[in-house]
Amino acid sequence: MKSDIILAGVGGQGILSIAATIGMAAVDKDLNLKQAEVHGMSQRGGDVQSHLRVSSKPIASDLIPKGKADIILSVEPMESLRYLPYLSKTGWVVTNTTPFVNIPNYPEMDTVMAKIAEQPNHIAIDADKIAAEVATKRSSNIVMLGAASQFIDIEFEALEEGLRKIFERKGDAIVESNINALRAGRAAAEEILASRN
Amino acid sequence: MQKLLLLGDEAIAQGAIDAGLSGVYAYPGTPSTEITEYIQDSKIANERRIHSKWSSNEKTAMESALGMAYAGKRAMTCMKHVGLNVAADAFINAAITGVNGGFVVVAADDPSMHSSQNEQDSRVYGKFAMIPILEPVNQQEAYDMTYAAFEMSERFNVPVMIRITTRLAHSRAGVVRKELLAEKEVSLPKDPTQFVLLPSIARRNYKKLIETRPDLEKISMESPYNTYTDAPDRSLGIIACGIAHNYLMENFQDRELNHPVLKLSQYPMPRKDIERMVEECDKILVLEDGYPVIEELLKGYQEAGTPVTGRLDGTLPRDGELTPNIVANSLGFPFEEGADVPDLMVGRPPAMCKGCGHIDAYQALNIALEEHGPGRVFADIGCYTLGALPPYNAVNSCVDMGASITMAKGAADAGLLPAVAVIGDSTFTHSGMTGLLDAVNEKTPITVILSDNYTTGMTGGQDSQALGHLEQIIEGLGVEPEHIRVFKPTAANLDDMVNIIKEEFAYEGVSVIIPRRQCIQTLRNKSLVMKVKELGL
């Protein structure tokens, strides 16, 4: 198996927790993993991305080549479009629809959503809203992981287990809340796909 | 043994701990920060009481680590590439003193300048110092090389450099650990004059360093990290240094690699391997994530012999980090990109956080400067550098750690008044104090805005060496107490702040204005909040 995933968002939105969860699951399944993160200046509200590669074979590059990503998993709508050159022709854009507006020239939301809708394979869900309903608003990143999970070649249970390990130090309540967020994201994405068929 | 999922930085840290490290000395700097942080959080390191507290700057760090190596223990110092400029004096001379306990210097370079002001290549420094350089290709090598580097340092009586770039520093992968070694006991150097670099002794030591050259080339030839893989198509030979080897191999996942490849991860260069490639191949392509160091060395100035291509002839871009696609281009391999970035896309530059005290300080400074006109604010390295961007447009320079105060001094000497410096508390104790002394000694009319947030903010909230004694330091350097003005930067205090700044503009001597409020990113750091309370700040 091989999953090349671009995680996208804005500094502070928690894409590294998504990466850590997938990473934990991959290590448990004895898969190879490379995950390039952005630290430093951009974490102050700038655009950030992480290249996450999971494979049953050894992985050469820490960076995903352009045109090779299987998924762009974005916790912010405009950011889901920034890395399109990396997406393969058959890849999926999975994005949150709640914008993170910290710049004065953020484009019109309608045009952003229209552009996302133009992508041949896309899923757009309001992860902030879902997170607020089933967990806390801060779990919207984990909702997005849930939404993308069906395109990642790792069993869903392994992702749940990964979440448990990552959040276990913070107590059962936090673990359960994140697992709820993961499941709700998965369900929302499945519903969208079912409605299209 | 179970694999650990580690950043390149963390792999270096774990490798050092397992090799019997007794102390790490460092100042935070992207992309090197996580090495020291990992040791600070490590259970074994804490049990062993391995030194890991932050130093004031890279020079003090380098010298402290050298002192520990003098005392026979294994020591490491870590810094970003430009930090090595600060520590360069100690670094170059540490190659002349040699070591007693193993001494490892980690330099983390930042090609493409993700978080830096240049993309200098630390391999040039390593060559300059005439010491071995190890350039890991992945996290496991980062671990293994660090683990072995201390022994290499002791065996050849030289510091050993580990050079990484941002992508390895901040990329995570599985790492298998080796046996945990015991720390070294305290011991004195066998020769009591070894570390006394009087000219007569330095000349002797330098000759010894020159004499190690053939040995260092020999171990590069024998190194498991330098591998020559022969292949039938000798129309092109490829030299891939460090992480560039990954990008090369990425392009051969679905293709057969028909060209001879020299993977180069240990310097000085393995001479015989290079000679072989020069002799057997019609052309050589050099892939380096940084400066064209090896390419230039092979190419020389005479343009004779085997043609060498790379960054210097446009086969690869002259600047910026390498990527799999850039390497594909250099090999003439086509690739299909995804869709274009849509036109609606706008940039999202980093910015100061909502509620940050620096913002209030800049608002006051901008108002106070209105009557004087633009172009007179010299800033420094830290979050407040972002004040250069809209909507603040508040600063006119950012050059190197500490340069705000000294550049303001020079501008004031030239007659540009008022001349303002903006510097943070951690940068001030890193490299601002000596410049302030220069200004005090000459009573140069400068106004220093020392924006104090109790932390090293940009790199993630590490300890600030200034905490609890900033005014004492400033007074000790000779600034008059009535011209040290402290206030809390908030929107409600705006008028007061503006007035204070204007009053100090009018003073024809050194003023230090301290807008003081805790970095909002550190408000969840309970021990810092407690400490600030204890200090009555």
Tokens of B306: 């085997």
Question: What homologous superfamily does CATH list for A2-196?
Answer: Pyruvate-ferredoxin oxidoreductase, PFOR, domain III (3.40.920.10)
**Residue A60: is it exposed, middle or buried by C-beta count within 10 angstroms (0-12/13-18/19+)?**
buried
Contact B275, B248 (CB under 8 A): no
What is the reported pLDDT for B1? 61
Q: B115–A40: do the CB atoms touch at under 8 Å?
A: yes
Query: How distant, in Å, are the alpha carbons of B243, B366, B467 from that of B248?
Result: 9, 50, 47
What is the reported pLDDT for A51? 96
B227 three-state secondary structure: strand
Tokens of A4: 């090349």
Q: How far apart are CA B475 and CA B468, in angstroms?
A: 13
Q: B341–A61: do the CB atoms touch at under 8 Å?
A: no
Q: A86–B253: do the CB atoms touch at under 8 Å?
A: no
Beta bridge partners of B408: none
Tokens of B373: 């006109």
Residue A47 sits at the chain B interface (C-beta within 8 Å):
yes
CATH, domain B227-330, list 3.30.70.120, 2.60.120.330, 3.40.50.920, 3.90.1150.10: 3.40.50.920
Name residues whose C-beta falls within 8 Å of residue A196's C-beta, 6 or more positions apart in sequence: none
Rounded to the nearest angstrom, the minimum Cα separation between B92 and chain A is 28
What is the reported pLDDT for B304? 79
Rounded to the nearest angstrom, the minimum Cα separation between A179 and chain B is 22
Residue A186 sits at the chain B interface (C-beta within 8 Å):
no
What is the reported pLDDT for A45? 82
Q: What is the pLDDT of residues B373-405, one digit of tens each?
A: 999 999 999 999 999 999 999 999 999 999 999
Other beta carbons within 10 Å of B518: 17
Q: How far apart are CA B77 and CA B22, in angstroms?
A: 11
Please give the backbone phi and psi of residue B169, each rounded to the nearest 5 degrees, phi first: -55, -40
Per-residue pLDDT, averaged over B277-293, amounts to 97
Mean pLDDT is lowest, of A52-66, B61-75, B136-150, B345-359, for: B345-359
Strand ranges across the sheet with B446-451: B377-378, B419-424, B446-451, B511-515, B484-487
Radius of gyration of chain A (CA): 16
Q: A115–B344: do the CB atoms touch at under 8 Å?
A: yes
Helices A15-28 and A156-167, packing angle to 10 deg = 110
pLDDT at B111 over 70: yes
Of B174, B340, B352, the CB nearest to A33: B174
Residue whose C-alpha is closest to residue B288's, from B145, B121, B113, B129: B121
Measured in whole angstroms, the distance separating CA B200 from the mean position of its chain's CA atoms is 33
Residue B82 sits at the chain A interface (C-beta within 8 Å):
no
Q: What is the pLDDT of residues A89-142, one digit of tens each?
A: 999 999 999 999 989 999 999 999 999 999 999 999 999 999 999 999 899 999
Q: What is the pLDDT of residues A38-71, one digit of tens each?
A: 877 777 788 999 999 999 999 999 999 999 999 9
What is the reported pLDDT for A28? 87
Q: What is the domain partition of chain A in residue ranges? A: 2-196
Report ipTM for this prediction: 0.93
Q: A66–B335: do the CB atoms touch at under 8 Å?
A: yes
Phi-psi region of B355 (alpha: psi -120 to 50; beta: other; left: phi over 0): left
Residue whose C-alpha is closest to residue B213's, from B269, B162, B260: B269
Q: Which residues of B touch A62 (CB under 8 A)?
A: 167-168, 171, 173, 243, 246
Would you say domain B4-211 falls under CATH 3.40.50.970? yes
| DSSP designation for B325 | H
Average pLDDT, chain B: 96
Burial pattern B416-429, b for ≥16 Cβ within 10 A else e, equals eebbbbbbbbbbbb
Residue B112 sits at the chain A interface (C-beta within 8 Å):
no
Residue B347 sits at the chain A interface (C-beta within 8 Å):
yes
Residue B31 sits at the chain A interface (C-beta within 8 Å):
yes
Q: A46–B246: do the CB atoms touch at under 8 Å?
A: no
Q: A34–B3: do the CB atoms touch at under 8 Å?
A: no
Q: Which residues of B touch A44 (CB under 8 A)?
A: 350-353, 383, 386, 458
Residue B171 sits at the chain A interface (C-beta within 8 Å):
yes
Q: How far apart are CA B91 and CA B62, in angstroms?
A: 7
Establish, for the pair of chains A and B, how many residue pairs have beta carbons separated by less than 8 Å.
154
Residue A85 sits at the chain B interface (C-beta within 8 Å):
yes
Q: Which residues of B touch A111 (CB under 8 A)?
A: 344
Q: What is the pLDDT of residues A3-13, one digit of tens each?
A: 999 999 998 89
**DSSP per-residue string spanning B426-455:** HHIIIIIHHHHHHHHHHT--EEEEEEB-SE
A20 three-state secondary structure: helix
Name residues whose C-beta falls within 8 Å of residue A180's C-beta, 6 or more positions apart in sequence: A134, A135, A139
- In terms of CA atoms, which chain A residue is nearest residue B4? A27
Rounded to the nearest angstrom, the minimum Cα separation between B351 and chain A is 6
Name residues whose C-beta falls within 8 Å of residue B445's C-beta, 6 or more positions apart in sequence: B412, B417, B418, B419, B507, B508, B509, B510
Of A40, A60, A67, the CB nearest to B246: A60
The residues of chain B that CATH labels 3.40.50.970 are 4-211, 357-534
pLDDT at B433 over 90: yes
Tokens of B369: 């400067």
pLDDT at B334 over 80: yes
Helix ranges (DSSP H) in B157-212: 166-169, 199-211
Q: How far apart are CA A33 and CA A35, in angstroms?
A: 7
Per-residue pLDDT, averaged over A25-33, amounts to 91
Mean pLDDT is lowest, of A6-15, B199-208, B263-272, for: A6-15
Contact B347, B404 (CB under 8 A): no
Residue A112 sits at the chain B interface (C-beta within 8 Å):
yes
Q: How far apart are CA B524 and CA B467, in angstroms?
A: 17
| CATH number of this structure's domain B357-534 | 3.40.50.970
Please give the backbone phi and psi of residue B272, each rounded to the nearest 5 degrees, phi first: -65, -40
Contact A57, A25 (CB under 8 A): no
Candidates B33, B171, B254, partner chain A, best to mutate (most A CBs within 10 A): B171
Q: Which of residues 12-31 of A touch B (CB under 8 A)?
A: 19, 23-24, 27
